[in-house]
Amino acid sequence: MPQVELDTITADGVNVFYRSAGPPTAPVLLLLHGFPSSSFQFRELIPLLALKFRVLAPDLPGFGFTAVPAERKYEYTFDNLSLTIEAFLDALKVDKFAVYIFDYGVRAHPPY
């Protein structure tokens, strides 16, 4: 079973904690956790996916071990979460990836 690495990287003024596994040359699969959770929710899935993918699972700002310095004055909006994840991917030099988003952005709509 592939080894899961725990690391942090500064992106968008945020110290982003993330879990990663898999070959560095494999296609990248980005796992984004739901509310109220962290990358920990994927702890048993990451090694399985890492057999075929380079798996990246960050903790979003405000969750898990990701640290947002007070002087950053971070506004916790979906737009800003997206910008931070974009900066995270840029910092890791990832320009092509597939993404699995757990439950953010899912809304129940009334029947039409």
Answer whether residue 11 shows pLDDT above 70. yes
Q: How far apart are CA 80 and CA 25, in angstroms?
A: 29
Which residues have CB under 8 Å from 2's CB, separation 6+? 21, 22, 47, 50, 51
Answer whether residue 106 shows pLDDT above 70. no
pLDDT value of residue 73: 96
Structure tokens at 23: 């070959």
pTM for the whole structure: 0.90
**DSSP symbol at 67:** B
**Lowest-pLDDT choice from 1-5, 18-22, 51-55, 65-69:** 1-5
For the stretch 53-98, pLDDT in tens is 999 999 999 999 999 999 999 999 989 999 999 999 999 999 999 9
pLDDT value of residue 50: 98
Answer whether residue 17 shows pLDDT above 80. yes
Answer whether residue 109 shows pLDDT above 60. no
